């Protein structure tokens, strides 16, 4: 894993636990496992040229495995601020963390 950038540190401090840094596809990303077969990845926040923006937030279905068998179920692009990122993450975690429709 690379050194945590200032942007990532600010985002981690702002979001708090249970977010952590994980290397995904050779990129250091913010990550949260929802502990129900879904996880959330925040890509691009480590880029110091982007201030607090990220490339995308992606929800993965990892019920069949977390590697090549994982499936993307939702992507949110062009998140530009930490408050916007937190709101997007809260919505996605509520939707995929609690909604039994996605557990079938």
Per-residue pLDDT of 23-80, as tens digits, reads 888 888 999 999 999 999 999 887 767 666 788 999 999 999 888 889 999 999 989 8
In a domain, 74, yes or no: yes
- Give the torsion through C-alpha atoms of 99, 40, 20, 37, to 10 deg: 60
54 compared with 13, residue with greater pLDDT:
13
In a domain, 12, yes or no: yes
Full residue range of the structural domain in which residue 19 is found = 6-99
**Strand order through the sheet with 54-61:** 20-24, 27-33, 38-43, 54-61, 71-79
**Structural domain count, the chain:** 1
In the beta sheet, which residues pair with residue 80?
none
H or E segment to which residue 22 belongs: strand 20-24
Q: For 72-93, what is the mean pLDDT?
A: 94
In a domain, 1, yes or no: no
In a domain, 104, yes or no: no
In a domain, 86, yes or no: yes
CB-based contact 5:46 (threshold 8 Å) = yes
């Amino acid at each position: 894993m690379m050194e945590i950038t200032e942007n990532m540190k600010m985002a981690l401090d702002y979001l708090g636990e249970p977010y952590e840094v994980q290397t995904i596809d050779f990129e250091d990303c913010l990550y949260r496992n929802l502990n129900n077969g879904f996880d959330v990845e925040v890509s691009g926040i480590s880029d110091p040229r982007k201030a607090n923006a990220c490339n995308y937030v992606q929800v993965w279905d990892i019920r069949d495995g977390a590697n090549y068998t994982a499936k993307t179920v939702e992507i949110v692009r062009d998140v530009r601020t930490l408050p916007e990122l937190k709101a997007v993450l809260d919505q996605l975690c509520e939707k995929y963390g609690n909604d039994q429709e996605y557990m079938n």
